[in-house]
């Protein structure tokens, strides 16, 4: 079967995690979210976590060297041999180059870069209402995508909290960082013919249906 090697691109709060949660079930792909990996490392107080924490608290990106190593180990793992879904990586041109070179050396290539478009004002509305499950990072929104029981994760019953970096002052800065460092990747993947756009302002179920249909087509093409 053809590989599905996918990345999700979009501003913080675009709905990448929300969509990834749904797509993983559809396509049985290993899912690697750099934000979740880094938050887990901070919680464990591992060396990675200790190095990353100050950057994350400020809403800055952690250095490329730190995150590239972590993510390339996952992409190289046996479970990702038939494909993967990356969320939150790459976020800089340097990271995109590392991923591209590593895949090329292994005779692999990206299938698509899935871009979820959402304007800045909507990002701010979303992140200020985002609630995240303490255990596995499942995301909800108090108004747009509420859990069945307030403050409790539908999927694993854990408590829902507001992430520290979802406080308004940090959100603004994260958006600036996105525009400066990550947005240029849209052009880069467009030029490579890999970019697929999705209107992230549609409700979560509609965005999901659209991405799923695109991926089903790509998977068929890979098999040909």
Among 16, 39, 131, 196, which one carries the catalytic annotation?
16
Least distance (Å) from ligand ADP to the CB of residue 1? 28
Residues that bind ligand ADP (CB under 6 A): 10, 12-18, 34-35, 38, 55-56, 59-62, 67, 88-89, 91, 95, 126, 129-130, 139-141, 144-145, 165, 174, 200, 202-204, 207
* Cα–Cα dist 76/71, whole Å: 9
185-194 contacts: CB < 8 A, separation 24 or more?
Answer: 185/9, 185/90, 185/91, 185/92, 185/93, 185/96, 185/113, 186/9, 186/115, 188/93, 188/96, 189/9, 189/96, 189/113, 189/115, 192/110, 194/110, 194/111, 194/112, 194/113
Half-sphere exposure of 214 (CA within 13 A, CB side): 18
Nearer to ligand ADP, 89 or 189 (CB): 89
Least distance (Å) from ligand ADP to the CB of residue 76? 17
Residue 214 has which token pair?
A: 């695109």
> For this structure, is 24 an active site residue?
no
User: Do 83 and 4 meet the contact criterion of CB atoms below 8 Å apart?
Assistant: yes
Among 39, 126, 130, 196, which one carries the catalytic annotation?
130
Rounded to 5 degrees, φ, ψ at 101 are: -65, -45
Among 163, 172, 202, 212, which one carries the catalytic annotation?
163
Residue 200 has which token pair?
A: 């992230």
Least distance (Å) from ligand ADP to the CB of residue 104? 19
Q: How many CB atoms lie within 10 A of CB 145?
A: 17
> For this structure, is 130 an active site residue?
yes
* Cα–Cα dist 62/68, whole Å: 10
Nearer to ligand ADP, 31 or 140 (CB): 140
Least distance (Å) from ligand ADP to the CB of residue 28? 20
> For this structure, is 174 an active site residue?
yes
Least distance (Å) from ligand ADP to the CB of residue 119? 12
Nearer to ligand ADP, 3 or 18 (CB): 18
Nearer to ligand ADP, 83 or 200 (CB): 200
| H or E stretch at 84 | strand 83-87
User: Do 8 and 16 meet the contact criterion of CB atoms below 8 Å apart?
Assistant: yes
Q: Which residue is nearest to ligand ADP (CB)?
A: 35
Among 39, 91, 126, 131, which one carries the catalytic annotation?
91
Among 39, 126, 131, 174, which one carries the catalytic annotation?
174
Nearer to ligand ADP, 65 or 81 (CB): 65
> For this structure, is 163 an active site residue?
yes
Q: Catalytic site residues?
A: 16, 91, 130, 163, 174
């Amino acid at each position: 079967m053809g590989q599905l090697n996918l990345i999700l691109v979009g501003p913080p709060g675009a709905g990448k995690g929300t969509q990834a949660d749904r797509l993983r079930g559809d396509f049985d792909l290993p899912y690697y979210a750099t934000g979740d990996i880094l938050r887990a490392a901070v919680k464990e107080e591992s060396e990675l976590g200790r190095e990353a924490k100050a950057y994350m608290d400020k809403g800055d990106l952690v250095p490329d060297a730190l995150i590239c190593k972590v993510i390339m180990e996952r992409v190289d793992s046996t479970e990702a041999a038939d494909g993967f879904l990356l969320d939150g990586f790459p976020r800089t041109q340097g990271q995109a180059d590392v991923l591209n070179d590593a895949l090329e050396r292994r005779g692999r290539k990206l299938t698509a870069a899935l871009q979820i478009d959402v304007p800045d004002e909507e990002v701010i509305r979303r992140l200020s209402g985002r609630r995240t499950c303490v255990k596995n990072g499942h995301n909800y929104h108090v108004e747009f995508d509420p859990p069945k029981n307030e403050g409790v994760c539908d999927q694993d019953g854990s408590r829902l909290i507001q992430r520290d970096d979802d406080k308004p002052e940090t959100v603004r800065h994260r958006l600036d960082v996105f525009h400066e460092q990550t947005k240029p990747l849209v052009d880069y993947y467009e030029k490579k013919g890999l970019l697929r756009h999705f209107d992230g302002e549609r409700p979560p179920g509609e965005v999901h249906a659209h991405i799923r249909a695109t991926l089903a087509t790509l998977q068929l093409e890979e098999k040909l």
